[in-house]
Amino acid sequence: MRADMVRALLDQDAVTSESVTAAFAAVPRHRFAPEAPLDLVYDLHSTVPVKKDAHGLDTSVMSAAHLQGVMLEQSGIRPGMNVLEIGSGGYNAALLQELVGGAGEVTTVDIDRDVIDRARRCLDDAGYGQVKTVLADGESGVADGAPYDRIIVTAAAWDIAPAWISGLAGEGRLVVPLTVRGTTRSIAFDRDGESLLGRSYRLARFVPMQGQGAAKEERTVLLRDGVAVQSDDDRVRLDAPALNRALDTPRLLRWSQAAYDLPDELELYLTLNLPSAARLHASRDIVDSGLVEPSALLGVPALVSEDSIAYRTRRENDDTGGFESGVVAHGPQAEALARQYVELLQTWAHRHRRRGAAEIRYLPGPARGSLPRGMVPKRHGVVAVTWH
């Protein structure tokens, strides 16, 4: 089953290097999830629960092998490196130890005693006793062992902690699933003077950080049973009664004549460029009723005003065999919002419709004055995205 998993990782380009391939082939993944069925453990895209909270929500999981492979390739780890992992489960730390070899060092830290103790037991059981395990809040890094050539964060982070930057070696790299306006990407950041520059970013889903690095509280407003709008941007006004009334108005539908493909790239572009961005969520029952489009099932970038809302949809394009992007809008300002949204869809299609079009920079320190489009304030700095 391990060999089948490795072949599948190669077939899907989740792993591309000989070193990462060899690491996956060497580490017995099932030894880090002894309670889980083998078909779940070795499924390429499945997470394995490690711990849940009182509400039954996952607080710690073994990440999907596909995502682990992607992040390890982003990391570019070489033998002899000193690596810090923030968020522990044991298995990924064992993969890291395989990559750095006997001359390298791996430290893994977690805020939860149950999780770090379990990781310690699994690492020892699988023969990776040299990996250092630390019980601490990962927001503060692990000063005893810095500087690190690589820091790998395995939980969704709302911001980049100053300790992660100060803990990096001069040519170090930070790989972090960074959440910006409700959407998360695994970004490989390299030092660039006083800032961080990321050119590699991939779709990622993780359980959120705990402790001091926990996400800034998101505002979620319920419009009606099965429909909600969410934002973590204080500048975005969410008037639940007004937006709910908007949904009861006839829908305005506008088509862009722009192709709908590369959905993860398009979603990131919309999230960062809509002037008043939120995320619209709808349940299956609501979608089946026809009130909201299927694009909202997993959350869709929405443009909101005080009394209107617009979001993306798609339809089959008979001429190309693909799909065309469109916009659904409701409310008194539906026409204006739809027009803005369509213009963004067209700009994306004509100028940036490819993978890797975004250059993501992290600027430590407080935001100064009003920020232009494409710049998002965080707790410790600013995320600035340029599209090429």
**Hey, which residues are catalytic here?**
63
User: Is the alpha carbon torsion for 185, 190, 193, 199 positive or negative?
Assistant: negative
Q: Give the DSSP per-residue string, 156-175.
A: BBSS--HHHHHTEEEEEEEE
Q: How far is CA 148 from the centre of its chain?
A: 23
3-class DSSP state for residue 251?
A: coil
Cα atoms in the 13 Å half-sphere on the side-chain side of 213: 30
Measured over all CA atoms, what is the biggest interatomic distance in the chain, rounded to whole angstroms? 66
Q: Give the DSSP per-residue string, 362-376.
A: EEES---SSPPTTEE
Neighbours of 350 (CB within 10 A): 9
Give the helix/strand (H/E) hosting 195.
Answer: strand 195-203
215-237 b/e (C-beta count within 10 Å ≥ 16 → b)? beeeeebebeebbbbbbbbeebb
Rg (CA), the chain: 22
278-316 b/e (C-beta count within 10 Å ≥ 16 → b)? bbbbbeeebbeeebbbebbeebbbbbbbebbbbbbbbee
| Distance from C-alpha of 334 to C-alpha of 360, rounded to nearest angstrom | 31
Cα atoms in the 13 Å half-sphere on the side-chain side of 149: 15
CB 66 within 8 A of CB 14: yes
CB 64 within 8 A of CB 47: yes
Q: Specify the pairing of strand 277-282 against strand 300-304.
A: antiparallel
